[in-house]
Structure 1
Amino acid sequence: MKIDSKSLRYAHAEGHTDVCYSEDGRHIITCGNDGDVRIWLDIEDDDPTSHCVGENAIAVCFKDKRLYVATDNHAVQAYTFPAFDKDGIITRFTAPVTQISSTPKIEALGCSSENTEAKICSLEGGAPIFVMSNQNGPVLSIAICPLMKYAATASGDGNMRIWDIDTQKSVKEVNCVPKINTFYAAKVLCRMSFEPSEGKYLAYPSNKEIILLDCESWGQRMSFTHNLIKCAISQCVFSPCGQFLAGSTVAGQIAVWEVGTGSCIDIIEHPTSHNVTSMAWNPKGNGILVYCDVAGQLGMLVNCYGKDSSQFDNEASEDVETVEPMDDEILDNLIENYESEDENENAISLEKLKNETLGLVDRDSRPESREIISAPSTVPPQPPFQPSATPAHLEHRYMCWNSVGIVRCHTSENGESTIDVEFHDSNHHHAIHLNNYLNHTMASLSTTVLALACETPSKLVCISLVGSSKEWSASMSGTEEILCVSAASGLVACATSARLLRLFTPMGTQRQVISLSGPVVSLAGFNTTAMAVYHHTEPGISDQHLAMDIIAVNGRQVRCKTVPVPLSAGSKLTWLGASDAGSPSMLDSSGSLRLYDVASGVWMPLCETTEHSRGASDTWFIVSVSESTQKVQCIMCRGANFPLTAPKPIVTELPLQIPVCELDSEKSQYEEQLVRWSHTAADVDLKMARETALKLFALACRSEIEARALELMELLKDERLLPLAAKYASRLGRMHLADKLTDMAETWEREADKLNVAQNIHFQELESQETYDVSSTDQDTNASFIPPQKDVKKKIENGTPIKPVPIKPSPRAARNPFKKQQESAKIVPSTLTLTERTLVEVHATDTNTSSDDALKPLEGETFMDWFTRNKPLLEQSQPELTPAELSRHGIKTFKSSQTKITSENGQKRKLDESTEDPVVTNAPKQSKLSAFAFQKKT
């Protein structure tokens, strides 16, 4: 008979949900993420009994007329049934309890926890009977043999372990669990099950099949699978009679096999393809199976034994329970015949062998109507969240914790709520205490404004922190609800359910309304820039597809740039923010922190927080990211995803580090520093950057890889570093490399169309005082890791005054007093090179004597003061020069004027120095003797 599926019922809030039966099979007990335990008479029960046990309840188990519930305080609490009175605590853990398991024949409970431990405890509490430790990941599930001889655990480190309870040692390990670092991120729970009669066999899921192990030899006896199963099986459970085995996949498929024959009775597809979190057989043995999924829904399957479940009464159920779990002779003969085949015929499938031996019908010959291949299931879309905030259902929670301050919310038992705001810098603003009359659930804090919002009634309330602390509010229209809110120093943004991003000024002016391309996930801001992350497309089989709009507001202009959001495989976005330099930053659930370099347009992984965790279940709560100090401020959360409000946690700093290859080597460490400094606003001076680059060059030379050393200098492209590298190469005796570096310098000199190489000769003292700004976004990131001298030119073009450096007068710059200059001669643009043209313009005389007097330096006047005073006059006299060329022209004029003053005081000059530089004018060219030629009088 075909298995029938009942309609799903809402049981609990979305999240992990657990289910079990009472021992008489008359009640269904469920618990869920809302912290309630519900007792159902049947799936059709419209009014189940509900009891609140805390903020969440992960696991529930019924044993000897008592209920055992895993509460949010990491304890296993006992309750009487059906009165539901507290009846003691069985055991405690330091992290959430993931499963509670037991069998009718034993007087103990098996409890697994996320703190990498599992325990077998007495029903009366006290010291545990057996503690299964030394597991390198959160323990996802536990199963106990009905004879209390063996126990099995599955942990997030990838291994299933089988323990001997008598010797309290591990007897076997099987690698069958996908590796995860927290129970809440696990899709495959690897729920195992011992055969319920004598515990002869252990069934456990392994990818798309269920493996049956012999508990004596621990060898594989059988495997259960089907071609319709398209994804990994998450759990399996034996029926009370031991003759049937049920398994569920992460896509919600539930299959039932007959253990004796290995045939699949039927496969049921979940209506919404949600992952099944728990299953339980009815102890009456009537073929009824109940299950719960991650959406908090309760479902039921009937006729799972291939017969009508309504025909089973209490007497029949007792008969079924006394039947032998399986025919061992048939199973042993089946395995023996399979193992005795010739080696050349070992390729015979197990399914075919069953058909030939037992005369079974091939399951692939079922009617085509049952051969429907379902579409691949997708993960549910991530709901919106506030960065650096804890869950909203907590009584004491953080609404916001960032680099400015902390916003806490406290809810009392009578429903009254208050909000406390604490600033890290008390000089900036005093602490704030508010009564939360509107039941605000979202908050964001900046240096200028505190933004509060709630979904219903959807209203944005902002308190200005500048001046008189004025308060303003804005109500959403119609049924529009606020989902996320963000406050920056120059902007307040909120994203609504209508897929609108509303921008306000800090004082309440509505600035802009922007439509988002998908449902919002999170918001962040920096100065006058808002960053909105939303679902770009529907989620895939395991990944979220997110994108981010970077919206910059400048006066009346609004600019937007859309970039995809990279996430680790199977992870979700857990934090969104901006660094102290304004770079967008994000953290996913796998612990990878990434930063977006706006200049280059790439996402870079800058910190793997899991490498700094002590336990597999530890997570990091991000507070802020600093590019200047190259640190991440965060809070360690042991065995949890968020910190507690009391006691106040300690903020820890983690270093930024790009995960380059072979990070343990010295070469990779220097390379990582150069790459990280070139893409972040690191507070690194010129000396340290050059030392790091030179050390990397030295390593290449010592490794006798001259090509790499030459390639490094070409990559760095720093004219000031090249002489040092050439000097180092010559000291090592690598003259060939030194010659190539010299040729490279000459090549750079010829190709420098914007930089004048003569600047290195004349302004060495000026350049020695330059500061190294690796974070400048004006630099060409594709040209060099270390900025070349073009930064100096850009600073001059931007109007930055030249630094006052004493300039030594040079006799070579003196003018020739014997040169004959015509008054009508004027300087015109020539086709000379940049250097020649500059020298010509410097030595050209001006016919305006008043200009010469104005340009004459005062006594004791420095070049800085002289250039600032005469810059307008120089620009007027030389309009065709660029700012950089004008600066060089000014220095030449200043030197020439100083030399002229010295010569007028009676100092001697050499003739060869005075005649060194010829004068180029528009006058006709004539020989030296033509000036003395006879001219006929008219």
Structure 2
Amino acid sequence: MSSATNLNRLIFAHTPGRTLVTYSPDGRYFYTIGSNNIIRKFTVASDDDPQILDTAEENTGLAASNKHIFTSSEDCTVSCFSVEHNSLEKLLVRTTLPTRDIALSPDGEWVAVASDETVVKVVSVETPSRTFTLREQSNSNKHVAFHPLIKYLLAVSCTDGSIYIYNLTSMEPELVKKVDGVISRIQDPAAEASAKIAWCPDGRAFAAPTPTGDVIIIDRQKWERQRSFASGHGASEITDLAWSPNGAFLATAGKDGKIVIWESKNQTIIARYDYKNVCSLAWHPTDNTITFATSDGTFCILPSAVPTEHVPVLRLPTCPAPLLSDSLASIPAEIRPRPPRASSNPVDSFLGDLGDDDDFISDDDGAGYAEPNANGKRPGTPLEHTSGPNKRPFTLFRPEIHEPFQPSSTPWKSERRYLCLNMVGFVWTLDQGTHHTVTVEFHDREQYRAFHFTDTFLYDKACLNENGTLFACPPNERNGEPAMLYYRPHETWTKRVEWRTSLPDGEYIVAIALSENHIVACTSNGYVRVYTLFGVPIRLYRQKYAPIVTCASFRDYVLVLGNGPVGADGRAQLLYTLENVKRDETLQSNDVVALRDAETARNVFFSEEGDPMVYDSEGVLLVLMHWREMGQAKWVPVLDTRRLEKIRAGGKREYWPVAAGQGIFHCIILKNGEEHPYFPRPMFSEFPFEMPLSNPKPKPEGSEETSSSEPFTTDDLEQTYLLSSTLLTLQTDSASNRVLDADDRISIAKGENGIDRALLQLLMLACKDEAMGERALEICGLFKQKRTLDMAVKVALKYERTVLAGKIAELRDEMDMEEE
């Protein structure tokens, strides 16, 4: 939306009403939100149409990180959306009265919520049950703002005209200062007039609007008035204000229909723009661009907001806040400008300021070079800032990791979510505000009876199988309750016994798994905890690589996925460990899950036959082959859902994996851009495995399925051969570790017959072409059974390939000699 056709022009994005705008920290996207129930996601420097995300109506707050979008609305909710998937990820918190504003901590881990309540809630993005409550206000709250450098310092603008500064470093937030007489009292919390404070980028002060239309600077040391930006809007009220990324300029909007750009150092106006009803301003993180929104539901991109002659100042590192007491001693060394030194040498006028070697060791920048301390060392300054005029900007490298997830669960949507969904049944929960209601239903209603219960522990994970249901809940720091596991068996030969077990304080559950023999819980400390079905702990060990991503189990086998070493792309590798917990034996240790760049695992489970499977974000189903032999495991693609005929014929769809077994992929088809199943529960669909060998042939819509299931083309026969060989290999690997019964032997024999049958058909096609004699002989070397070579000789003679028939006979004789 930054093309020339959309610059300096008001664009209608929402229905009339208060409209907000913000940029992602990396400057890649900007978002708008208004009184209707949508978020618009625009890509910077792109003419593509915006992405639309559904949200609540009458939105009041907007914040964004590189991964998430956060919104608040008058329906008393604060929601978290995924930037990658353009969908609702979770409901962060609910208030009892309408929300008015939200703010995101500089590390993106906490969201502060202002509402018509007298308290402010600060919620963890990762674990919403972790909450701080700020209680010192006597009236409702209008705005909140985190310190740009210190994530535990928060400012609250109250409707009574006071600003409350909190320190959040302890479980009981500490009121640092109450600043009175700066912002105006607000009678109507929904009014357009702003009481929002804006921290200076260097963190030493904040700017606040006054009732007279001026902007005052308040320092963080003594909390006193400093310089002011006066008479920019006459006596009109300020509706929003925002600092440029380096703090060199301040933008303000007022009810007088003006946007004013101020130079921070001298508090002078360098530009004015005429736009009415502006209620939200946002600077681009790196460009000379301001995007603003109005109460008419429109927004506008204002390029070159800072005039050309001032642009060099915009490119400087972080500038100091405009304080009355500014001196070299009071400005942190990291952002302190280096003063020029006078020189009597006329050459300096040509060469510039190269410095004076005579006083090379002088303390010209206040860093203490000339005054050693008691130990004879020159003390350094604390690293509170990341850049300065004489330093390159320093950025802390943070690798991109795979986020933890619970297999077969979905995010919150309309206060509901699935905790588990598989071939046995499904577990779903309903948010009732003060508690949840959990329902467990089964596909086989004759054998199992559905049940539901009131959930006061707020379970967020569940597993379901033929034996019972396993739940896990996060710790409740407000009540001091630790994380907990809860197992409820369906039925036993004795009286049904439910059991619960708690984890140590400070440890929460990342993922859980349930098999017919064991219960597995992976925790935030990197621990893998294994229990029997009735709560006896039998294993406890720490994963070598952390943080843990997820886990799955089958009988005595446990599969754990975790983040491993960081690759050249800055992304952690996804590793897996496979163990037999009964024998305490490691089968595969910290091997790599075969994902392409930027791919993630969407689901992890064991097949019906007991083989580990991963369904990735690209829609590819992978099975682990030879996993019982150390160092021999490999991931084999058995289905690529992007290749399914329904995609080719009917448009793009998503496939939610449920289970796999007997060569069949069980899933739920999602349409209309959905990424997760919702209520009412859709029907299951089945697709046979199809390995990605060649481009699929599209089938016209409405075409009839062929009455014969026999493949006749070379591609179909090669597909049949390779897939049957893969499934037979998985079956023989499993058979080698247990005693075979009659059914197993019959099944293996059928698999070998199917392979040889496909190869014989390929041989018939090769015999029809005289140039494919070598290929025909190669095919004969792939037969699983010696008796099939006799059939191959007959096929060659049928097509008058006497030479080929002789070579096949020789191959058969060699096999006889090897057996003898």
Q: Please, what TM-score do these two structures have when normalized by structure 2?
A: 0.50
Select the structure that is richer in strand.
2
